[in-house]
Amino acid sequence: MLARILSRDYPRSRPLTLVLVLILFGLAFAPFVFTGSQPLNVAAKICVFVLLVAAYDLLLGYTGIVSFAHTMFFGIGGYGAAIALARLGPTWEALGLGIVSALVVAGLLALVIGLFSLRVRAIFFAMITLAVASAFAVLASQLSGFTGGEDGLNYQIPEVLRPAFRLLENPVLGTNVNGRIITYYLVFFVALAAFLVMLRIVNSPFGRVLQAIRENDFRAEALGYPVVVYRSIASVVSAVMAALAGIVLALWLRYTGPDTTLSFSIMIDVLLMVVIGGMGTLYGAVIGATLMIIAENYLQVLMGRLGEVSKGVPLLSALFSADRWLLWLGILFILSVYFFPEGVVGKLRALALGRRTETSAGER
Amino acid sequence: MLAGEGGSAAFARFVQTMNAITPVLETRDLTIRFGGHVAVNAVSCAFRPGTLTAIVGPNGAGKTTYFNLISGQLPATAGRVLVKGEDVTRLSASARTRRGLGRAFQLTNLFPNLTVFENVRLAVQARVGAGLDLFTLWSDRRDLIAAADVILERVRLTDKRETMVSALPHGDQRKLEVALLIALEPEVFMFDEPTAGMSLDEVPTILDIIRELKADRSKTILLVEHKMDVVRSLAERIIVLHNGALVADGAPTEVMASKIVREAYLGQELDDE
């Protein structure tokens, strides 16, 4: 049963399994374990980014395609839900329409970009996606009557998902099960289900061809696999998943704007999450997204504490000041990429593999 | 010097029977120009099932380029490639493979960071056309796994099954190259110097495989080869390319005896005997 759900693609490292299980339980019970709105916000963001980063890894890590248009598809999802809800009112029908049209637009756009430009060399494809994504971002900010421009859109969501909605009269484990928590679980389960679907895809005959294309597209073509078709399908799947991430983010934030979905800094974050977690391993998306979002949200607090402690020591207090958190985040990136070029997951798996061969050699 | 088996008369009979069978593969005036240089110059040739044709010629004669034009790695400047009568000149390499043209490469051309087994399994999967299945587990396709293991056994790579190709010795990579080709089960097998760079004790494995394929009279085999003893022991027909043009075509005894071939290419080696 577990084998089917995980598509027989296990973490293959004990520490990794432990961390993944911790993250899974942390996210699954976040509303009951943590108090206040900040931790739940962080948990929801982790769910959204696990989905977004896993979808990107399908392209970068599995197929070897470098695309800068990933946040564009994220934005199409976000704006699709947002525009439908803002224009047609906070009904399920409006949301459904927004979801379907966002997924269709994202998929079609990815297909068109793919069929037209995946024949060219990887670097040109990357440039084309950059151009299309920039054009899309400009379009989104110019069509302000439709998208709210730079201000973005605020909107209501269906009543069941609003904070004021109470599912149960009495609190469960000291937490009121309100619409906010229902929305959180919607985000959580959509992300979990989509992640498992992608885990299945990368372990399907199709997913194996993607890895072959990454390794040697020339030979994959010579074996009879039409490489452009495979690459295009991969980018459609990735785009649809990114749009899905945008949709759940739009529901969670009740706001969609350029800074939450389309901005280039999100694209950079996604790239870093994939690399830190480990390219070509979907579990890397979980690790990378969790690490980075926790660092972004709590490093500042941690630095503040350290600054307090080291008060009086001249150089240290300046280094550990709360304002320096970005500097430390940067140092963390550089160190992690330097020491784990294959990502956290790659490193842990290599360690586990080394230990296994060592023991089997010892037995002989 | 040349064994008196009535070479040309026997070949004439052979040609007669062969002409009755439609060619599996045919090139008509196939040409490619790189700038001013004509690498393959109007080569017309038909290949019929059940024949092993060796393609010989000095270095730079255009043998590999001719292969690349046939299997679609290079676009022809002029001329046509026909597979079972169908014009495939404008089709992609993958589409030609799906129509029965199988190709092994001269410079080893594999999937370096995948295992030996996975390389072969991918070729088997390509043959059965299972690649567009997104939701079945690859490990549930036991048929593909079993078929790949049979081929690994055949090329004697079973003990290297889980080795990454990047860590494989050169000779084993050559064997794997052949394994991918036979996994495709094509109608036309195109071998480009399959034994180049192999140690002497590894060569027979590859030659035995080619002999087995030859014994199945339905297959068409094209073989680019430098080693004349290999050519002599395997080929029923030799075509000679020289400066991109086809200069001789016939039974081995006949071709090796012809003046133009001896001058262009074979002279030295025949004199050595």
Across the interface, which of A206, A212, A233 has its CB nearest the CB of B114? Answer: A212
Q: How close is the nearest chain A Cα to the Cα of B136, in Å? A: 5
What pTM value is reported for the model? 0.90
Q: Do B138 and A205 touch (CB under 8 A)?
A: yes
Pair B96, B122 in one domain: no
Q: How close is the nearest chain B Cα to the Cα of A213, in Å? A: 9
Q: Using the 3D structure, point to which of B164, B185, B206 is the last residue of a domain.
A: B185
For residues B154 and B174, what is the distance between their CA atoms, to the nearest angstrom?
Answer: 14
Query: Does B143 lie at the interface with A, CB-CB under 8 angstroms?
Result: no
b/e A196-225 (16+ beta carbons within 10 angstroms → b): ebbbbbbbbbbbbbbbbbbbbbebbbbbbb
Nearest CA in chain A to B91: A226
Q: How confident is the model at residue A247 (pLDDT cuts 50, 70, 90)?
A: very high
Pair B111, B169 in one domain: yes
Q: Do B94 and A208 touch (CB under 8 A)?
A: no
Q: Which tokens go with A277?
A: 């977690």
Query: Does B98 lie at the interface with A, CB-CB under 8 angstroms?
Result: yes
Average pLDDT over residues B218-234: 90
Amino acid at B197: G
Pairing of strands B78-83, B25-34: antiparallel
Q: Which tokens go with A64?
A: 């070897």
Pair B127, B262 in one domain: no
Residues in chain A closer than 8 A to B126 (CB atoms): 223-225
Residue B205 resides in a domain? no
User: Which of A45-49, A160-164, A302-306, B166-170 has the highest mean predicted lDDT (pLDDT)?
Assistant: A45-49
Across the interface, which of A4, A7, A224 has its CB nearest the CB of B126? Answer: A224
pLDDT in tens, A142-151: 999 989 999 9
Pair B77, B2 in one domain: yes
Pair B120, B78 in one domain: no
CATH number at residue A312: 1.10.3470
For residues A182 and A189, what is the distance between their CA atoms, to the nearest angstrom?
Answer: 11
User: What is the three-class DSSP state of B55?
Assistant: strand
Average pLDDT over residues A220-229: 96
Residue B127 resides in a domain? yes
Helix axes B170-183, B203-215, angle to 10 degrees: 10
Residue B4 resides in a domain? yes
Lowest mean pLDDT among A106-120, A222-236, B134-148, B254-268: B254-268
Q: How close is the nearest chain B Cα to the Cα of A185, in Å? A: 25
Average pLDDT for chain B: 89
CB contact at 8 A, B99 and B88? yes
Residue B36 resides in a domain? yes
Give the per-residue pLDDT at B199: 85
Q: How confident is the model at residue B16 (pLDDT cuts 50, 70, 90)?
A: low
Average pLDDT over residues B232-243: 92
Pair B79, B129 in one domain: no
Across the interface, which of B73, B125, B137 has its CB nearest the CB of A7? Answer: B137
User: Which of A162-166, A282-286, A335-339, A344-348 has the highest mean predicted lDDT (pLDDT)?
Assistant: A282-286
Pair B165, B145 in one domain: yes
For residues A291 and A301, what is the distance between their CA atoms, to the nearest angstrom?
Answer: 15
Residue B51 resides in a domain? yes
Give the per-residue pLDDT at A61: 95
Q: How confident is the model at residue B270 (pLDDT cuts 50, 70, 90)?
A: very low
- Look at chain B and report how many structural domains it folds into: 2
Question: B1 pLDDT exceeds 50?
Answer: no
Say which residue, A117 or A6, is predicted with more confidence. A6
Q: A with B: how many residue pairs have Cβ under 8 Å apart?
A: 98
Domain that holds residue A355: 2-363
Q: How close is the nearest chain A Cα to the Cα of B51, in Å? A: 23
pLDDT in tens, A89-114: 999 999 999 999 999 999 999 999 99
Residue B75 resides in a domain? yes
Residue B94 resides in a domain? yes
For residues A163 and A178, what is the distance between their CA atoms, to the nearest angstrom?
Answer: 6
Pair B224, B89 in one domain: yes
Give the per-residue pLDDT at B20: 61
Pairing of strands B188-192, B220-224: parallel
Q: How confident is the model at residue A77 (pLDDT cuts 50, 70, 90)?
A: very high
CATH number at residue B59: 3.40.50.300
Average pLDDT over residues B131-146: 95
> At CB < 8 A and 24+ separation, what contacts does A125-129 make?
A125/A65, A125/A66, A125/A67, A126/A66, A126/A67, A126/A68, A129/A67, A129/A68, A129/A69
Average pLDDT over residues B129-144: 95
Average pLDDT over residues B217-237: 90
Question: B79 pLDDT exceeds 70?
Answer: yes
Across the interface, which of B97, B112, B139 has its CB nearest the CB of A223? Answer: B97
- Look at chain A and report how many structural domains it folds into: 1
Q: How close is the nearest chain B Cα to the Cα of A64, in Å? A: 13
Average pLDDT for chain A: 91
Question: A317 pLDDT exceeds 80?
Answer: no
Domain that holds residue B264: 1-100+188-194+220-273
